[in-house]
Amino acid sequence: MATRKLQITAVAAILLLSFSSTSDARVYDVTNYGAKADGRSSINQALMSAWKLACASTSPSKIVIPKGTFLLKEVKIQGPCKAPVEIQVEGTVKAPANPLSFKTDGWLTFNYIDNFTLSGGGVFDGQGKIAWGQNDCHKNKNCKRIPMNMRFNFITNALVHDITTLDSKNFHVNVIGCKNLTFLRFTVTAPENSPNTDGIHIGRSDGIYITDSTIRTGDDCISLGDGSRQVHVTGVKCGPGHGISVGSLGKYQGEEPVSGLWVKNCTLINTQNGVRVKTWPASYPGSVSDLHFEDINMVNVGNPIVIDQVYCPWNQCQANIPSLVKISNVSFKNIRGSSSTATAVKLACSSKVPCQDVVVGDINLTYKGPEAPAASCQCSNVAPSFLGKQSPQVCASAA
């Protein structure tokens, strides 16, 4: 009797489970639409067929790219959709290696999608080696535009989690016009010497969260362009790379303010820079405010703390004309570890629009060069207020 009751309960439970899993989300496996895991024939058509169905579905749906190696050419994943859509990537998706085979500067471009999830533990391999060798954009203004691994354009209420972007030809991820977009357990991997391979670049977006993620790459781990608002970077490990940067700003007319950046509980390892704000001299007016850097561990990092308002790489600017980008309400608290350059803290603000409301809390940065001086600090046009202890002494002569 009891056994029979148990059996019935078990059957009911199984029925309930299978019912709820099919009604939760419609599932479109790309291999049912012609995708082959041979790494040679492109899955674009299969993915597009699945996307068309998923995006038109009036109930939540999921596209699955299962385990295996797939070739995917340049693709535009276009919304709006009728209900939430998830793309679950379990396998490795490879880009064509030849950058000349791309018509645009994006490999995967996601456009106008609301309630979107990208998940699955899979890898997007940009196969960047050939492109890196051809990249001459640092000296040639008319260089050919090189595709980024992922472009998120006007994406809202979205979550990208447990995804790896590998060896992008250019930036790994570009975020523009997005609202409430989270990157969680996101991994960026490219060699230290790969040019322009910024991890995540954000512009003109509001509410971007980068959490518990690891970024190892050849350029900035995270960079913020104009119009970045309410960006939260938490539990990120960065390095190698060029650090976490705001800017460079002020080069173009009509740039939107940058406001609200929280970088908390992060570790930077062997990066060229730590946390950095850079603006061009002789700039257009602009504004940067509400930047908060807290609980950051620096391991052998060059220039761990930098505000540089005379940022002028390749000497292509009039460095003697001050920047007009106003920087205010910036705090650096509990930043510790080792610097690989003697200057551990540099706060070089504009003489025309000095930095305002800069707070420096506990800082403990050490420098061990062979016969080097201790870690030092440079300040101009800034009078920070202090909390706690600072080593090196920050702005001892300027404040």
Ligand X SMILES: *[C@@H]1O[C@H](CO)[C@@H](O)[C@H](O)[C@H]1NC(C)=O
Q: Exposed (0-12), middle (13-18) or buried (19+): which is 204, by Cβ within 10 Å?
A: middle
Q: What is the number of other CB atoms lying within 10 angstroms of the CB of residue 146?
A: 21
- Given the complex with ligand X, which of 149 and 331 has the nearer CB atom? 331
- Given the complex with ligand X, which of 269 and 321 has the nearer CB atom? 269
| Choices 41-49, 79-87, 167-175, 347-355 (CB under 6 A): range interacting with ligand X | 79-87
| Choices 12-20, 41-49, 77-85, 141-149 (CB under 6 A): range interacting with ligand X | 77-85
Is 172 part of the annotated catalytic residue set? no
Distance of closest approach, residue 220 Cβ to ligand X, in angstroms? 18
CA atoms of 185 and 183, how far apart (whole Å):
7
Contact call for residue 294 and ligand X (CB under 6 A): no
* CA-wise closest residue to 126 among 153, 98, 103, 104: 98
Contact call for residue 392 and ligand X (CB under 6 A): no
Q: Cα dihedral sign for 54, 55, 58, 62? A: positive
Contact call for residue 192 and ligand X (CB under 6 A): no
DSSP string for 150-191: EEEES-EEEEEEEEEEES-SS-SEEEES-EEEEEEEEEEE--
Annotate each residue in 300-339 with x if it binds ligand X (CB under 6 A) or - if it does not, as one string. Answer: -----------------------------x----------
Q: Which of residues 99-158 bind ligand X (CB under 6 A)?
A: 114-115, 157-158
- Given the complex with ligand X, which of 46 and 85 has the nearer CB atom? 85
Instruction: Please give the residue whose beta carbon sits closest to ligand X in the complex.
Output: 235
Structure tokens at 275: 């946390």
Of 161, 172, 242, 292, catalytic: 242
Q: Exposed (0-12), middle (13-18) or buried (19+): which is 232, by Cβ within 10 Å?
A: middle
DSSP string for 21-59: HHHH-EEEEGGGGT--TEEEEE-HHHHHHHHHHHHH-SS
- Given the complex with ligand X, which of 31 and 182 has the nearer CB atom? 182
Give the residue numbers marked as catalytic: 242
Which residues of this protein are in contact with ligand X, per CB under 6 A?
Answer: 81, 83-84, 114-115, 157-159, 180, 182, 212, 235, 237, 260, 265, 290, 329, 357, 364, 366, 389, 391
